Amino acid sequence: MRIFLLTICIIVSGTAISVAQAPQKINYQGIARNVTGQPIPNQNLGIRISIHDLTPTGSVVYQETQSPQTNGYGLYNLAIGTGIPIIGNLADVNWSSGNKFIQIELDPSGGNNYSDIGTSQLLSVPYSLYSEKANPTLLYTLDGF
């Protein structure tokens, strides 16, 4: 009976650990606008995303491209980490080494003639990716079986 209970505990623990993996993606949403500031509706875009280390102009630790389509209001959604990687791997970014900044570049015609539309600091959400690499939790033994 003890072996049976121990086996069940191990199976349940292993299942919980495998389900609890953090997705290697960061959600991003923006509105594409033309040079006069008007939204660009229902258009395929070319977007290049870069993650810079330490400063807004620091070294690029990850870069990818994506080709989203805007909706009727010019809104587009990205899951950073699902595009075509150019530099690095999102799972390998060292989130503990200091501040990270995200730069978005856009080509409204869907190509790769990108214009810089801004850089901003990544705050707390991506750091949950770092917590996945934190020290493993203590394993407790079962006594009395």
88-93 contacts, C-beta under 8 A, 24 or more apart: 88/60, 88/61, 88/62, 88/63, 89/62, 90/24, 90/25, 90/26, 90/51, 90/62, 90/64, 90/129, 91/24, 91/129, 92/62, 93/51, 93/61, 93/62, 93/129
pTM of the complete model beyond 0.75: no
pLDDT value at residue 5: 43
Domains in the chain, start-ordered, CATH in brackets? 25-131 (2.60.40)
CA distances from 103 to 13, 47, 65 (A): 39, 10, 12
Q: What is the pLDDT of residues 35-86, one digit of tens each?
A: 899 999 999 999 999 999 999 999 999 999 999 999 999 999 999 999 999 9
**Does the pLDDT at position 6 exceed 50?**
no
